Amino acid sequence: MARFTVKVHPRARRSAVTGRLGDAWKLDLTAPPVEGKANDECVRFLAELVGVPRARVRIVTGLTSRTKVVEIEGVTEEEFGRAAGTKL
């Protein structure tokens, strides 16, 4: 199971992994940070990025923060890093 930190930038032009910020992955999301839309987009984007169902992606902490800890079942941290690296 991959568990990592993301720093979210809502209302971006497109959803994408844009690099690293310390230990966190920088994640641009098209959704606004209202009514959980950015969280939903975060889960959708990450699931699509690594090719798993949305049910396997979970925001562990940071539901109301730009800094979130995310878990993805069935994927290692190395596999996520490779998938995110290809999107830079």
Q: What is the CATH number of domain 2-83?
A: 3.30.1200.10
> Taking the model in full, what pTM does it have?
0.93
- Would you place residue 85 in the very low, low, confident or very high pLDDT band (cuts 50, 70, 90)? confident
Task: List the one residue out of 11, 16, 9, 6 whose CA is nearest residue 48.
Answer: 16
φ, ψ dihedrals at 29, nearest 5°: -130, 140
Q: How far is CA 67 from CA 1, 41, 53, 74, in A?
A: 19, 15, 23, 23
pLDDT above 70: percentage of residues in the chain: 97
H or E element at residue 84: helix 77-86
Q: What's the pLDDT tens digit per position in 16-26?
A: 999 999 999 99
Q: Where are the domains of the chain?
A: 2-83
